[in-house]
Amino acid sequence: VYVMYAGSVIESGVTADVIHHPRHPYTIGLLQCAPEHGVPRQLLPAIPGTVPNLTHLPEGCAFRDRCYAAGAQCENVPALTACGDNNQRCACWYPQQEVISV
């Protein structure tokens, strides 16, 4: 499965790995909006900030202004690199170690 943000792949891997062990903060935010065990949520959590203008993307990581894990490295564009099991890859300088039940 591929997860895209602002026109770029930011995470990829075996579907179960990406869903249950997301590494990119954007993927984590998306999955937090999914129904838990098929039960819809009353209020969906929102990712703070606004989507960048796709014709004028910011320098560095396009998600950094909205990212809770952003740091100094995010001023540079991260490459899609290995970040988990089974060839899971993410484009993040600060990959997370989340476990999510969807």
pLDDT at 81: 96
Asked if the model's pLDDT at residue 101 lies above 70, the reply is no
CA dihedral of residues 83, 96, 94, 85 (deg, nearest 10): 0
pLDDT at 43: 79
CA 11 to chain centre: 7
Asked if the model's pLDDT at residue 88 lies above 90, the reply is yes
Domain ranges of the chain: 2-90
CA dihedral of residues 96, 74, 52, 88 (deg, nearest 10): -40
Q: What order of strands is seen across the sheet that includes strand 89-90?
A: 2-5, 8-12, 89-90, 81-82
Element (H, E) at 102: none
